[in-house]
Structure 1
């Protein structure tokens, strides 16, 4: 009997509360998809290094999933609260007819159980289907071979999804039982008649609070952007974050008291059509949902920043790989060591041998495997430190350890040979000039200021002036992202050959077969592992390793950004949609009264559309303002890892926001329209 009644209740509620079921199913599907990444990647042909990165990604996603489960749990409980509020009169009727609170709780238990089973089954089915398409996304991000791909079902992701959502539903059942036992019969019958107590706020106080909120937000915005360099520890940053959150709450609190006052003073707008009804309803909603508006706005802000940053890392690394990995392999070896500096006999002897000699003595001649290569030396001078090249720059770091590091010096002829090999532009120098090569954004800004000031340096007894007023883009060693903090290019004739500190080789393979290349790289890495503790061995940096590492970092950033961003976006939009549907159910009588006063369906639907649009736009507008400064802050952090291309990622984020948030808005409008129609 109770089970049959529960099933009928769900069937009756399905039409009006489709968003609730849609959100649950979507949450289950997304949870499964992102936890099935390891199983999907197992079917792809990827390198061992990439597979290790996938394992790391899986571990990170497991921890992130705990946070996601908490967010979805909050969403489900929040939605259940609204559904129960809508059905107060129904529960009151059960109690009047003699049904005990225990049986009412059992009805809710069966309903939640049925909803949970439907959501889990449908969500997992959709997740399994959608995860097959995400395999192509995984393959694209990790540059994998899809030739051996087949249908994949992740039992691990399925079990994890079921366990997390069972836990969520158990909490919901406990919450519902507690709510039923706590409620009184009179409250259940009069709950729909009661309106939220709206305290009219003093406009003067609201104006003062509004001004305070704006000041707090401006201070927070300034200190995380223009004043970021003055932040010395995490506590200061936390203070500004808290200030931004409090400022957001005060903004909504004050606007809720000012909104109606400001709009009502605009007679031409306020008394036009059903605007009086629309704005009074909007003012009431904001007034009674200040905390919810604050949370939703901050969730949207985090969504925009996380999505944009994650996608930026991925896009930037893809672009950087095209520019920063122009050869197959780099070798880099320390040379010219001496016992006087505290080095042992083996290290000194090893440092006096070339890279080719080192590998030959360890039983492997690498030269036949290299089709073409460029061999050069890097020099250092005691009189050319970072402090010397920056001069009197007031923005330089005062840390002695950093400033006293010797600059890397390269002959102009050697660099030009490497530039031609890399396919880059060559450079020319007069006998009294030097050039700084740098592509690491934070250092470019610092060095450019010194170059504009014309800082002179003394290289091996020769005074040189900068040829250009800014750094030139370039590098010696390959990298997955711009990481060259500075290389000094000088005329050949002034270099002292006794100050060599490193030998460097850039080369391309003579082999075309991937298996042969992999075998060669494994052999080179094996020699490095066996000898690195006793000798000054060459460091090896291959194109394949750089790509695997960079692609892995980009994929981790993109996946985590998408996972957190999409879930927070869905949660925020779903809460707004559920609130809108609840309000629409309460407005049925008001709309009926408006019809009696002469309003037609077109006017009522237009008023509903504006009301819903304002309700969705209000938290989004402030979130976008937050995001402008949030992305400026993120850009400063992303610059340190060489990440660029924020523009395209913001565009992609806007599309995701439009599709999901806009989709919830349209569903809310049409469902609300269906609720209030005659």
Structure 2
């Protein structure tokens, strides 16, 4: 009981020292609960069955990711606890001098670990339970549901999972503490404050050469990710490895020659306390090269994941609105041989006439899609261009191009809100919305690429592809179809009959009711695609990616900031005597605090600066690889990511500064 009381007393006395540790644990517990309780929230009751399935998939993926997240948080807790143990070595030495055994000290630490665990779990779970209610509203908004009323929901499953995961983590910490104390010797504990980390001086010239090589390595990898046409999966792995090594040697070399360069500018080096600050930074970077590399890479992943995930969702939702201008599409293929259906046009026209007024509005458009063996992808793009495409591969070069009459397309464009085309006799136009193919087709159109059909040659009506499509899709995937003058199209080329229609409905509820009737009309011959189906499934998958990005990104950001904060607080505690020496030689408090602020700022923002440079090229690579899903970047996602970075990373920076300022005052 006495040892437990001592643990409680120590916790009260050191509460301010443990503040960042507590904040990190509380945030970790809260976030863990929020993202693992989504399937229990009220949102599940107001969403459609297909969206419910998407959320169930999302919850399963988040549960799998939670295992990975728990390892990250576990490493963070052990790492943070290691710093706290180091700070208290002299205290433990005093305990042993007074006759206390290592087992008793271990029990004190065990008591403190239990207290920290219980308090952080309790506060974190309360924060998570209330935070989950706000997350519920966000899920409804992202998945397009409507809540009739609010109901407070508690997830016992997420509650138990959170307690179990964090209990295991703290059990590991307790074992780590016992092992650490068992290895300690009294003389080392009592002299711990006087021991300095061994700093090996490096050859400045060698470090400068390594710096140039590291910068060249990173430059090469930046170039490669911005030109991924010839890359394969194995190349991407080597790029990541080379980037990690380049980052490591960048920090390693900076620690060897940066101070030497600064010392050459005597006017700057000897101003205020710059000499003290630079030597402190030199020592820290020199002894934390690996940690700085890991933190930098974690920040890089955080920025890419957050900006990419948020940007993808924002633009995907916007794109879904553009790509679903009608309520429903139907298609019937004419086929060939045994599967020939010569009455395909009549099937759709009869269907529409029968259901018009009851199911469909009067603004429907029916059109015919044609194909000719004379006009293939290899013919319009050219064989050389086709093979150079790199990122785009087809199973057959002889795949026929779709052909549409200009009058049919203009009627559909009027319904879809797209620009109408003018295609004079003897010309053709290409309608395309897939950026990868636009880059291939546009140079050919500008050069005046001709096509030949039935002995007649056609020249481009436009010097570039015209934006548009006929079939609704979840993303820009129309690789292009040919629009010809009506008289140039032969009826024997018929391939598919297509219908775009809107429901006879004025509200969302009515559209959902009509959707069930329209879906029931689908058969093996009659293909059916609807706006509601595309938005629910594809929008749900986009939202899933966004939630996973936010979950992973915030955990990585908290971990990076906490590692830096705990290291800096530990350094401030170790350097209290140095700051007291500055006071004795005449430095005032304002000068000391300014020096402290500068060194913490450099220590925090150096890895962030490198991570931001990495992120510019990382986001470029992501944008290129996901080009068909729309433009990934957006000002909204960049601002949201910046807000999260400033809020969490900046918050840890300020907490670290004020905590360090308090520590150096209490000498």
**The two structures share one fold, judged by TM-score above 0.5:** yes
2:527 equivalent in structure 1: 539
Write the distance in 2 (CA, Å) between the matches of 1:441 and 1:5.
67
2:415 equivalent in structure 1: 421
1:371 equivalent in structure 2: 361
- Do the aligned partners of 1:350 and 1:358 also contact (CA within 8 Å) in 2? no
- Do the aligned partners of 1:210 and 1:250 also contact (CA within 8 Å) in 2? yes
Write the distance in 2 (CA, Å) between the matches of 1:206 and 1:188.
35
Matches within 5 A, 1:222-621: 222-226=223-227, 228-232=228-232, 234-339=233-338, 343=339, 348=341, 354-357=347-350, 365=355, 368-372=358-362, 373-391=364-382, 392-393=384-385, 395-396=388-389, 401-512=395-506, 514=508, 516-528=510-522, 531-532=523-524, 537-621=525-609
- Do the aligned partners of 1:457 and 1:463 also contact (CA within 8 Å) in 2? yes
How far does residue 349 in structure 1 lie from its aligned partner after superposition? Answer: 7.3
1:52 equivalent in structure 2: 53
- Do the aligned partners of 2:205 and 2:257 also contact (CA within 8 Å) in 1? no
Write the distance in 1 (CA, Å) between the matches of 2:623 and 2:224.
14
Write the distance in 2 (CA, Å) between the matches of 1:293 and 1:366.
67
1:627 equivalent in structure 2: 615
Q: Give the superposed CA RMSD.
A: 1.9
- Do the aligned partners of 1:10 and 1:111 also contact (CA within 8 Å) in 2? yes
The 1:572–1:349 alpha-carbon spacing in structure 2 relative to 1, beyond 3 Å, is same
- Do the aligned partners of 1:480 and 1:546 also contact (CA within 8 Å) in 2? yes
- Do the aligned partners of 1:612 and 1:669 also contact (CA within 8 Å) in 2? yes
- Do the aligned partners of 1:395 and 1:446 also contact (CA within 8 Å) in 2? no
1:202 equivalent in structure 2: 203
The 1:399–1:560 alpha-carbon spacing in structure 2 relative to 1, beyond 3 Å, is closer
Query: Does the residue aligned with 1:443 lie in a helix, a strand or coil?
Result: helix
Write the distance in 2 (CA, Å) between the matches of 1:418 and 1:352.
16
Write the distance in 2 (CA, Å) between the matches of 1:123 and 1:62.
18
Write the distance in 1 (CA, Å) between the matches of 2:25 and 2:373.
66
Write the distance in 1 (CA, Å) between the matches of 2:487 and 2:627.
36
2:97 equivalent in structure 1: 96
Query: Does the residue aligned with 2:418 lie in a helix, a strand or coil?
Result: coil
How far does residue 399 in structure 1 lie from its aligned partner after superposition? Answer: 5.8
- Do the aligned partners of 1:390 and 1:396 also contact (CA within 8 Å) in 2? no
Write the distance in 2 (CA, Å) between the matches of 1:645 and 1:676.
44
Write the distance in 2 (CA, Å) between the matches of 1:2 and 1:71.
31
Tell me the matched-pair count. Answer: 661
Write the distance in 2 (CA, Å) between the matches of 1:647 and 1:225.
21
1:314-368 deviation line (CA, Å, top 9, x unaligned): 10112112222111111112114223xxx4xxx64785752355799xxx85774
1:551-587 deviation line (CA, Å, top 9, x unaligned): 2022112111111011100100010000110000011
1:114-137 deviation line (CA, Å, top 9, x unaligned): 100000000000111122122221
How far does residue 644 in structure 1 lie from its aligned partner after superposition? Answer: 3.9
Bigger Cα displacement from structure 2, 347-356 vs 635-644? 347-356
- Do the aligned partners of 2:308 and 2:632 also contact (CA within 8 Å) in 1? no
How does the TM-score come out when normalised to structure 1? 0.94
Q: Unpaired runs of 5+ in structure 2?
A: none
1:169 aligns with 2:157: no
How far does residue 515 in structure 1 lie from its aligned partner after superposition? Answer: 5.0
Query: Does the residue aligned with 1:469 lie in a helix, a strand or coil?
Result: coil
How far does residue 521 in structure 1 lie from its aligned partner after superposition? Answer: 2.7
- Do the aligned partners of 2:315 and 2:631 also contact (CA within 8 Å) in 1? yes
Write the distance in 1 (CA, Å) between the matches of 2:75 and 2:185.
25
- Do the aligned partners of 2:204 and 2:256 also contact (CA within 8 Å) in 1? yes
1:200-241 deviation line (CA, Å, top 9, x unaligned): 101111112111211211121111112x11113x22111110
Write the distance in 2 (CA, Å) between the matches of 1:443 and 1:335.
27
1:370-415 deviation line (CA, Å, top 9, x unaligned): 1121000100111111111112537336967342211111000000
1:653 aligns with 2:646: no
- Do the aligned partners of 2:277 and 2:596 also contact (CA within 8 Å) in 1? yes
Matches within 5 A, 1:63-82: 63-82=64-83
Q: Runs (4+) of structure 1 moved beyond 6 Å?
A: none
Write the distance in 2 (CA, Å) between the matches of 1:247 and 1:421.
54
Write the distance in 2 (CA, Å) between the matches of 1:182 and 1:402.
68
- Do the aligned partners of 2:334 and 2:342 also contact (CA within 8 Å) in 1? no
